[in-house]
Structure 1
Amino acid sequence: MSRSSRRGHRKVAAVALAVSAGLFVSSCADSGNGGGSGDAPDSGSGLSIGPVNEQSGEGDAVKGGTLTFSGYSAVTNLDPAKTQIAGSVAGSELGAIYDTLLRYDPASKEFVPKLAESMEPSSDFKTWTLELRDGVKFSDGTPVDSAAVSASLNRYVTNKGPQSSLYASKVASVDTPDASTVVFNLVDPWTGIESLLSTGPGMIVAPSAQQGDQFTPIGAGAFTLEKFAPNEELILDAREDYFDGAPNVDKLRLISIVGSQSTTESLKSGGTDVAYMRSLPNVLDLIDSGYPGFVDIPSLSYLSLVNTAPGRPGADVRVRQALALATDPVALDNRLNEGKGLPGQVIFQDTSRWHNDVAPIGVDTAKAKQLLDEAKADGFDGKITYLTLQENSAQAMALALQSMANAVGFDFQIEYVNSVADVVKRLYADRDFDMATGSANLAEADPFERLYSNLKTGGRNNAASFSDPEMDTLLDQLGVATSNDAKIEVLAKIQERANEVVPWQVYGNTPWLGVWGQNVHGIQQSLDGIMFFDKAWKN
């Protein structure tokens, strides 16, 4: 394994701004004094995927009380078909109401049943049979049967939920031969259906939830709605008739505290019991202070998007290549984050199960200047505008990128906007940008979905208008790969192609931390930072 392809045990400080259709827009503080190779020195923080400050001798669960969870962003909609589901946005909150058919166990790296009793593929992975548990009921008392599951999935597609287009393209039909069996007939071999059923599409909505235009959050999860004040708090009551036994706590209070430092202070003071964190200084502070939790490191979580639409500077691959060759992620990390980040240019660092030994594009300022000069000779004026948030760490990052780009001959200009909504609108609605802060956040469980939606020609989340027939072919090959070895083989080819066509400007990864107080126990982890609280308790 070359050092240039290794990015393990390093962190990037990030202030995440928004989530839109599966792509998390982030403003990040990384560093820069770097050498020209792009190699990553040993990490100053040493984080890796997995539990931290593990608790022992927890004893018997204590019943009662209220558990307060501070999510990364405020919940604004309780309909899983109308909101992105992830740990950073609504995933843990809505999971408490609806549960999911499956859960991803990050320790075993396998999908395990939750509402479902089992899910098994055919030998060719073109048919998946899901068996439901006996006696599971929605909070309105109606059964969670195959008809309800099928209806909820149809509703998700009809409402154009964030993952609906992928689901519709992969699932040819659904059969319900009896009340407890759901059979998914796929277009091609596909393992990613387990991932989908562990997030938004797998949050089954009761048939009674939708009455005309009126939606009521009725699910099969461990909690029911007591109060919902959007952008303020969500209060949930424990269900005594939950299929896996009544939750230990009486209530969940789900809030979102603005600012990671304020969230940290609330956790330390006892005002918050559990939190979802992404700011590296606060993540390291809480870990060093002995707080238990789980670290996740999604791939491609720290990058910039370059608009490849005709008429934009990034339409010329030489411009994209020059930007990448001019930008040293290690230098950024040293300069802005004291060398404690996860800098790198590869898609999958060696903290990931999907890591391969393909080296990144590298850092070569002489070659960057040569490519830029060639583009200028063909009419490019050298100007490129970078879109980011008017926020201290985002400004520091923008200035560092500007310095490196201008050093090889770019006229790198910075455009600041005041709100997350402005960034999202410019990227996804207007597609009005040359280059912008961004992230793809590929989940460890299955990176295919977000790679596909962000890279595939015409993809739902392809804000950069990237199009490459060879990459499309590789993405299709990844979609039908059914073993981890086969997936890694295709992902290595995707890395090789990415080095040539540069679909993103990759700077490294950003860690996430699900964290709780020493007196909190029983938190279950799932896909993409989602946490479940049905077994949680406080002493």
Structure 2
Amino acid sequence: MTATRGIVGDQAVPGAPTDGGRLSFAGYMPITSLDPTVTPATGSTGGTEMAAVYDVLMRYDADSRKFEPQMAKSLEESVDHLTWTLTLRDGVTFSDGTPFDADAVVASIERYNQKSGMFAPLFNEVVQNITAKDSATVEFTLNKPWLNFPAILSYGHGMIVAPSSQQGDKFTPIGAGPFTVENLQPAQQLDLNARSDYWGGKPHLDALRFVAIAGEKPKIDALKTDGVEMIYLRDADTVNVAKEVFPGFLDFTNMSMVGNINNSLGRPGGDPVVRQAMAYAIDPEIVNERARDGAGVGGSDMFGPQSFWHGEVGGILPDAVKARELLDQAKAGGFDGKITYVAVNSPEAQQVALAVQAQLNAVGFDTTIEYASTTTDMVMRTIINRDYDLSLGALDISDIDPEIRLFNALSSTRNNTIGLKSPDMDALLSDVLSAPDDNAKRAAINEIQKFVNEEQPILTWSSTGEVFIAWSDHVYGVKPSVDLIMLFDKVFIGD
């Protein structure tokens, strides 16, 4: 695979932007709440919808390859790399008419951290203090340098909710973004209307609609027949089909398919020998071939050759003989060989499960597959209750800000899915965060790969996966940000 990040496909050069119309977008997962502390602010889980309501302080610009101010006017770093000063735009208001000022920004971020929004543990790890210096200035004091600090303000921390949003236990989505909420039918449909008083000028679109369409092939059919104007795709076969037909934004992620091992004491994966036996037993290429007909990229590298962060050390290579030896060693210590594998009940997940089960059992494991009926059930089973031994997952780590999802997946300071509690890993993550330049960051990530090769707390089955946001030939002005969060303030539907 040749990794690509950017707008692809042939599309006519647009004329002058036209006003009016409604754009419908079928995302990856239908949204149930517009509270950024409840809904993870990523492109696949509601980040695009929430950015339309709240906007973001910072955004990633694919052309400049830098984080640029969006709601913010500027973000400046001190010489010692420990203080970041955020300056806000003049005259910005929330949709309820109240001022979008430094006090509101500080209050929203503090609320986000108190309610443990996504990436809050990382923010708390790095940021020592947040202060409203005056009505237009927010100062962030860090306890360690983080050159990529602007990244975190492009996710949920940068989606500022109005002080009036939280009234007791009731949350109302009030933001300073380009659209306001007309109607939310959880997990079904979200309708938004354009704001005439948006700081960047009234959006060209009159309205946005986010709809739920089950399955990626039906999404493609809906786009072909003008049932929707944009769709989110991540399955290898549908991405390959769609990018040959539609324009859109193509991105890739690292560790797009992983095996989460429950590292908790008392589970089989609490024994590193069992984890190592699993790792050597499962060939990622076989998983890719059986689950995706070879359309994806199988591999055990955390960051494969396509990645900017690919280092000198790759993942381990499958070795059935070594896997049997390790499993025999674990059984000699009392392990009965039984493994419970959990996955969502979908066609691709079923094929992955069968491929993994066959390879584990071939070296002597006794693997039982159990399916969760919905994604919500899967989250409850694996993340909340941690009632599994091995499960299908994805880290989807971007090359733009790899430290954010690495920390989220592997740090002892958060309730990571695999239950890893390792001071050594925490120290390695700190090295990635504080790296003074790209070479130092790549070297630090390389050390994490070494740790994973030795301890196998998680299994990489696909080092790379493509994600494609496809749109109609008549859609123009989409601004991609980080993590496939799309910004619609300048979008219009042409002739």
Paired AA for residue 506 in structure 1: T
Moved more, 318-327 or 334-343: 334-343
Report 1:234-383 matches (<5 A).
Answer: 234-289=190-245, 291-383=246-338
Summarize deviations over 1:16-42 as a string: whole Å, max 9, x none.
xxxxxxxxxxxxxxxxxxxxxxxxxxx
After superposition, the Cα gap between the structure-2 partners of 1:537 and 1:210, relative to the gap in structure 1 and judged at 3 Å, is same
- Give the aligned partner of residue 428 of structure 2: 474
Three-state SS of the structure 1 residue aligned to 2:37 is: coil
Would the aligned equivalents of 1:448 and 1:478 in 2 still touch at CA under 8 Å? yes
Would the aligned equivalents of 1:118 and 1:132 in 2 still touch at CA under 8 Å? yes
- Measure how far apart 1:427 and its partner are: 1.0
- Give the aligned partner of residue 157 of structure 1: 113
- Tell whether 2:373 aligns with 1:418: yes
Q: Take 2:443 and 2:258, find their aligned partners in 1: how far apart are those partners?
A: 23
Q: Take 1:376 and 1:211, find their aligned partners in 2: how far apart are those partners?
A: 56
Would the aligned equivalents of 1:457 and 1:472 in 2 still touch at CA under 8 Å? yes
Summarize deviations over 1:410-456 as a string: whole Å, max 9, x none.
22222223222222111122111111111222232212122122212
Q: Take 1:159 and 1:350, find their aligned partners in 2: how far apart are those partners?
A: 38
- Give the aligned partner of residue 449 of structure 2: 495
Aligned residues: 493
- Give the aligned partner of residue 472 of structure 2: 517
- Give the aligned partner of residue 32 of structure 1: none
Among 60, 63, 66, the residue aligned to 1:104: 60
Three-state SS of the structure 1 residue aligned to 2:280 is: helix
Identity of aligned residues (%): 42
Q: Take 2:436 and 2:97, find their aligned partners in 1: how far apart are those partners?
A: 38
- Measure how far apart 1:108 and its partner are: 2.9
- Give the aligned partner of residue 131 of structure 1: 87
Report 1:450-489 matches (<5 A).
Answer: 450-460=405-415, 462-489=416-443
Q: Take 2:60 and 2:169, find their aligned partners in 1: how far apart are those partners?
A: 33
Report 1:140-151 matches (<5 A).
Answer: 140-151=96-107
Would the aligned equivalents of 1:192 and 1:449 in 2 still touch at CA under 8 Å? no
Q: Take 1:338 and 1:422, find their aligned partners in 2: how far apart are those partners?
A: 27
Would the aligned equivalents of 1:297 and 1:351 in 2 still touch at CA under 8 Å? no
Q: Take 1:360 and 1:238, find their aligned partners in 2: how far apart are those partners?
A: 48
Three-state SS of the structure 2 residue aligned to 1:305 is: strand
Q: Take 1:106 and 1:348, find their aligned partners in 2: how far apart are those partners?
A: 20
Would the aligned equivalents of 1:125 and 1:482 in 2 still touch at CA under 8 Å? no
- Give the aligned partner of residue 394 of structure 1: 349
Would the aligned equivalents of 2:84 and 2:141 in 1 still touch at CA under 8 Å? yes
- Tell whether 2:122 aligns with 1:122: no
Q: Take 1:431 and 1:336, find their aligned partners in 2: how far apart are those partners?
A: 25
- Tell whether 2:9 aligns with 1:58: no
Q: Take 1:47 and 1:271, find their aligned partners in 2: how far apart are those partners?
A: 30
After superposition, the Cα gap between the structure-2 partners of 1:244 and 1:232, relative to the gap in structure 1 and judged at 3 Å, is same
- Give the aligned partner of residue 16 of structure 1: none
- Measure how far apart 1:200 and its partner are: 0.6
Q: Take 2:63 and 2:455, find their aligned partners in 1: how far apart are those partners?
A: 35
Report 1:403-442 matches (<5 A).
Answer: 403-442=358-397
Three-state SS of the structure 2 residue aligned to 1:226 is: strand
Q: Take 1:407 and 1:340, find their aligned partners in 2: how far apart are those partners?
A: 25
Moved more, 501-510 or 384-393: 384-393
- Tell whether 2:482 aligns with 1:527: yes
Summarize deviations over 1:236-275 as a string: whole Å, max 9, x none.
1111221111111111111121211211111110010011
TM-score, normalised with respect to structure 2: 0.96
- Measure how far apart 1:504 and its partner are: 0.9
Q: Take 2:343 and 2:74, find their aligned partners in 1: how far apart are those partners?
A: 45
Gap regions ≥5 residues in structure 1: 1-8, 10-45
Three-state SS of the structure 2 residue aligned to 1:510 is: strand
Paired AA for residue 440 in structure 1: L
Paired AA for residue 235 in structure 1: D
- Measure how far apart 1:192 and its partner are: 4.3
Q: Take 1:255 and 1:335, find their aligned partners in 2: how far apart are those partners?
A: 31
Paired AA for residue 25 in structure 2: F
Summarize deviations over 1:25-77 as a string: whole Å, max 9, x none.
xxxxxxxxxxxxxxxxxxxxx56333220535222111111111111111111
Three-state SS of the structure 2 residue aligned to 1:258 is: coil
Summarize deviations over 1:430-484 as a string: whole Å, max 9, x none.
1111111112222322121221222122522x22222333222111212222322
Paired AA for residue 503 in structure 1: P
- Measure how far apart 1:350 and its partner are: 2.5
Paired AA for residue 343 in structure 1: G
Q: Take 1:327 and 1:213, find their aligned partners in 2: how far apart are those partners?
A: 47
- Report which structure shows greater RCO (CA 8 Å, sep ≥6): 1
After superposition, the Cα gap between the structure-2 partners of 1:151 and 1:320, relative to the gap in structure 1 and judged at 3 Å, is same
Would the aligned equivalents of 2:121 and 2:414 in 1 still touch at CA under 8 Å? no
Q: Take 1:212 and 1:470, find their aligned partners in 2: how far apart are those partners?
A: 41
Paired AA for residue 492 in structure 1: N
Three-state SS of the structure 2 residue aligned to 1:190 is: coil
Q: Take 1:128 and 1:352, find their aligned partners in 2: how far apart are those partners?
A: 29
Moved more, 133-142 or 60-69: 133-142
- Measure how far apart 1:533 and its partner are: 0.7
- Give the aligned partner of residue 216 of structure 1: 172
Three-state SS of the structure 1 residue aligned to 2:253 is: coil
Moved more, 158-167 or 487-496: 158-167
Q: Take 1:99 and 1:231, find their aligned partners in 2: how far apart are those partners?
A: 22
Would the aligned equivalents of 2:302 and 2:314 in 1 still touch at CA under 8 Å? no
- Measure how far apart 1:304 and its partner are: 0.8
Q: Take 1:215 and 1:404, find their aligned partners in 2: how far apart are those partners?
A: 48
Q: Take 1:329 and 1:470, find their aligned partners in 2: how far apart are those partners?
A: 27
Report 1:20-59 matches (<5 A).
Answer: 48-59=4-15
The list of structure 1 runs, each at least 4 consecutive aligned residues, that deviate by more than 6 angstroms after superposition, is none
Moved more, 244-253 or 208-217: 208-217
- Tell whether 2:46 aligns with 1:90: yes
Three-state SS of the structure 1 residue aligned to 2:376 is: helix
Moved more, 517-526 or 98-107: 98-107
Would the aligned equivalents of 1:323 and 1:405 in 2 still touch at CA under 8 Å? yes
Q: Take 2:121 and 2:277, find their aligned partners in 1: how far apart are those partners?
A: 34
